[in-house]
Structure 1
Amino acid sequence: MTASLFSNTTRRPLADELRPQHISEVIGQEHLLGPAAPLGIMLANQQLSSFILWGPPGVGKTTISRLIALDAGYEFIQLSAVSTGIVDLRRTLAKASDLRASAGKATVAFIDELHRFSRPVQDALLPAVEDGTIVLIGATTENPSFSLVSALLSRAKVFTLNRLSNAQLGTVVERAERHIGKSLPLTADAHQALLAMADGDARYLLGLCETLFLLDESALLDVPALSAVVQTRAPLYDKGQEEHFNLLSCFHKSLRGSDVDASMYWAARMLQGGEDPAVIFRRLSCAASEDVGMADPNAMVQVVTAWQAFERVGLPEGRLFLAQAISYVATAPKSNASYLAFDRAAALARKTGSLPPPKHILNAPTKLMKELGYHVGYQYDHDRPDAFSGQEFYPDDIAQSSPDPLYVPNERGFERDIKNRLAFWASRRQSKR
């Protein structure tokens, strides 16, 4: 087996040679392929409806589509949205229509990278899907909610494929070793490192295996030697698409949840994926205000100062400033009282409209304004005991309704002191009434 595999210069890639020939050989995705799972039920009934397979690279989207179509007795036509234009698509639809009319056989049109079709091309698929000319199976690595037209989504179920676990990738390696007839020349630690390098992608893993099978089996590679032989894969991360927002969300929620380790992890994931550090600092700033707020006003100072230092120094040393800011925000006491207060203030402003302000807090730069009573009765707070006059600043209509407080501090961090101040001022106001 080894000689035929490596001596033939026109041999197929190992990933193609090991492509499953029956649906039972597919590794993983039991949640879709099991007897009681959606695709398993379709296959058992030999009746397919249009669906979209959404998942990361190398988890079996193309293989599953082909095997399901052939096992169910459908004609299978494979297209790629990268290289297929509207003319090619119409030719395929015409061929499927002729096959249906002449032989009564249904056609599965599998379209890889379906999200790369423009909206007009996606729209061109709709009539053929609607009248049953084709059963559409699309494959995409991007969230269909953002990348596919709603009319197409309404006619096709969306099934999510999972990245393969290290245990499942280990099964892939075992199959490759049996196929080649030799073991990978790796120590146990290097073997685990190899699975981690694959990052859930069986196709990429088999590409690495092809390189390693060329080496002498007797000289086992440790982790540093493995890294020298094969390239470390760049993390899957699209700065302009869903993954960008997903990881930012994970980062922010970890900060809010006071999990400093997870916060560090998600920030590192984004940096390794090529994210602009300014994006991470912007989210840190939001968390410092929204989730820490007045419980620790220094959180915003720490973030902005670290951001400024980062801009002056840059990477790699700048990651120290980022790490310090993350540590501060994640471990700071939390309060969203200021955030909620402004939401309540906005709601009150919408409800009350353009109420006039009380005249005593209006300046009177003209004679007419003085005659109208502007500024009359204003008390300069610094002239009062404790620099507090207790006068009213709300419009009269709001003040007379005795509104509930908008800003309600909690008992965490610095807001405990603020709460005491507010209680003191409230008692002073009450004593004046």
Structure 2
Amino acid sequence: MADLFDSAPRPAADGPRPLADRLRPKRLSEVIGQGHVLSPEGPLGAMLAAKSLSSLILWGPPGVGKTTIARLLADETDLAFVQISAIFTGVPDLKKVFEQAKIRRQNGQGTLLFVDEIHRFNKAQQDGFLPHMEDGTILLVGATTENPSFELNAALLSRAQVIVLERLSLTDLEHLAQRAEKELGRGLPLTGEAREAMLEMADGDGRALLNLIEQAAAWKVERPLDRAQLSQRLMRRAAKYDKSGEEHYNLISALHKSIRGSDPDGALYWFARMLEGGEDPRFLARRLVRMAVEDIGLADPQAQGICIDSWQTYERLGSPEGELALANAVVYLALAPKSNGVYVAYKAARAAARETGSLMPPRHILNAPTKMMKEIGYGAGYAYDHEAEDGFSGQDYFPEGMKRPVFYAPPERGFERELKKRVEYFAKLRAKRQGER
């Protein structure tokens, strides 16, 4: 995918040029945003200062300057800039690119090969870059909107530094809008509120904002448009959301952590973001049940039931009415007391089970349905708890020779305060019974 100032074939010098092309930065210092990587203290700034540019993977959302930065890096380092797209480039095309880079190198000039959408190349194609990176034929700069750790080969990643670019902030977009107005020679025909709405419509994408500005600048209006009038003329840009990609996992993580952090407003926001992105409410219902089990547990035994009920309500009502039932569960979980006591105990018990292998239960708690089993001691000495004082025998139920572990340690939160009292009560009673033997 192209980015903020990607170079399509340039129009003739006397022909109309798109606003994005006219505003293309000519120096890295003119790039809006990305100061965290371009400043003298940032990774790219430090590389340029040391005159030691390495192969890079530029990872970030659309419209934040990936192509522009790559082009300007080539200018800063006197490298030939060659741009290809993984979408339209096959193996024969790559071979030609590498051959041309070798000839260029023999003539004393290096090549910065910019590969847009590099994650679109398969494993074999990605491996094809490695020898040419290692012998210095090319300096690779790949651009991707997808998480490189998921989409790129480990061998390629080990030879390139990943640079994370961020979506443009509202302040960055306002600077870009001011630069566009200066280039156009006039202000936008918008009220302050409508101008803010336009920046929000761009959703952090500088190229999208310039497209919106180009449309708005062409309108012939008698007075500045307000927010409502702007919304009638322009459609809001769809939020970036891939139901099977990284954005899906980022947002469900944000929802889960907001609930764990007892923030109902944050939880509702991320819940709504996922629904607006087209997420299947049934997926959210399943995850809410998991959160109830993992993060609330026995601190509020009702939480799991409320999640199941909200899921069933959604199945009966469908969208959009049933989504309100899920929203009720979101708020309930966020405000419920939190405990992972059972979750921690469960993991510890599983670890102990793996470590102790196939140890038999103690003989006194084994059933003895045959005479032989009785003769070898199965069931001998078993104390029937209902017949014991306080209905508690205090016997040991772990394998013989295994030191009694403690898995479950309920915290002082919610209903588990009561369970903690019970755990402590039975621990004291167990010690008493064992002392009586």
- With the length of structure 2 as denominator, give the TM-score of the two structures: 0.91
User: 1:140 is matched with which residue?
Assistant: 144
The alpha carbon displacement at 1:181 in A equals 2.2
CA RMSD, Structure 1 to Structure 2 (Å): 2.0
Distance in 1 (alpha carbons) for counterparts of 2:134 and 2:221: 55
Query: What percent identity do the matched residue pairs reach?
Result: 53
Distance in 2 (alpha carbons) for counterparts of 1:16 and 1:45: 31
User: 1:425 is matched with which residue?
Assistant: 426
- Secondary structure (helix, strand or coil) at the match of 2:128 reads helix
Distance in 2 (alpha carbons) for counterparts of 1:45 and 1:105: 19
- Secondary structure (helix, strand or coil) at the match of 2:115 reads strand
Q: Is the 8 A contact 2:126 2:153 kept in 1?
A: yes
User: Could you say if the C-alpha distance between residues 380 and 9 of structure 1 is closer, same or farther in structure 2, counting changes exceeding 3 Å?
Assistant: farther
User: 2:66 is matched with which residue?
Assistant: 61
Selected match of 1:74 from 71, 74, 79: 79
- Gaps of at least 5 residues in structure 2 are 1-12
The alpha carbon displacement at 1:311 in A equals 1.8
Distance in 2 (alpha carbons) for counterparts of 1:239 and 1:261: 23
User: Could you say if the C-alpha distance between residues 40 and 345 of structure 1 is closer, same or farther in structure 2, counting changes exceeding 3 Å?
Assistant: closer
Q: Is the 8 A contact 1:46 1:73 kept in 2?
A: no
Confirm whether residue 114 of structure 1 aligns to residue 86 of structure 2.
no
The alpha carbon displacement at 1:10 in A equals 6.6
User: Could you say if the C-alpha distance between residues 172 and 392 of structure 1 is closer, same or farther in structure 2, counting changes exceeding 3 Å?
Assistant: same
The alpha carbon displacement at 1:33 in A equals 1.8
Cα displacement string for residues 361-386 of structure 1 (whole angstroms, at most 9, x for unaligned residues): 22333343344443344344344454
> Residue 225 of structure 1 aligns to which amino acid in structure 2?
Q
Q: Is the 8 A contact 2:365 2:397 kept in 1?
A: yes
Matches of residues 276-291 of structure 1 in structure 2 within 5 Å? Answer: 276-291=280-295
Q: Is the 8 A contact 2:393 2:433 kept in 1?
A: no
Q: Is the 8 A contact 1:184 1:217 kept in 2?
A: no
User: Could you say if the C-alpha distance between residues 364 and 104 of structure 1 is closer, same or farther in structure 2, counting changes exceeding 3 Å?
Assistant: same
Q: Is the 8 A contact 2:39 2:45 kept in 1?
A: yes
User: Could you say if the C-alpha distance between residues 236 and 394 of structure 1 is closer, same or farther in structure 2, counting changes exceeding 3 Å?
Assistant: same
User: Could you say if the C-alpha distance between residues 337 and 26 of structure 1 is closer, same or farther in structure 2, counting changes exceeding 3 Å?
Assistant: same
User: Could you say if the C-alpha distance between residues 177 and 408 of structure 1 is closer, same or farther in structure 2, counting changes exceeding 3 Å?
Assistant: same
User: 2:265 is matched with which residue?
Assistant: 261
Confirm whether residue 83 of structure 1 aligns to residue 84 of structure 2.
no
- Secondary structure (helix, strand or coil) at the match of 2:180 reads helix
Distance in 2 (alpha carbons) for counterparts of 1:35 and 1:425: 64
Confirm whether residue 208 of structure 1 aligns to residue 221 of structure 2.
no
- Secondary structure (helix, strand or coil) at the match of 2:410 reads coil
Q: Is the 8 A contact 1:184 1:213 kept in 2?
A: yes
Q: Is the 8 A contact 1:183 1:217 kept in 2?
A: no
User: Could you say if the C-alpha distance between residues 44 and 415 of structure 1 is closer, same or farther in structure 2, counting changes exceeding 3 Å?
Assistant: closer
User: 2:415 is matched with which residue?
Assistant: 414
Distance in 2 (alpha carbons) for counterparts of 1:428 and 1:43: 71
The alpha carbon displacement at 1:226 in A equals 1.6
Distance in 2 (alpha carbons) for counterparts of 1:287 and 1:126: 43
The alpha carbon displacement at 1:44 in A equals 4.5
Distance in 1 (alpha carbons) for counterparts of 2:48 and 2:365: 76
Matches of residues 26-65 of structure 1 in structure 2 within 5 Å? Answer: 26-44=31-49, 47-65=52-70
- Gaps of at least 5 residues in structure 1 are 1-7
> Residue 183 of structure 2 aligns to which amino acid in structure 1?
H
> Residue 76 of structure 2 aligns to which amino acid in structure 1?
D
The alpha carbon displacement at 1:46 in A equals 5.2
The alpha carbon displacement at 1:254 in A equals 1.5
Q: How many residues align?
A: 422
Matches of residues 351-362 of structure 1 in structure 2 within 5 Å? Answer: 351-362=355-366
Q: Is the 8 A contact 2:81 2:112 kept in 1?
A: yes
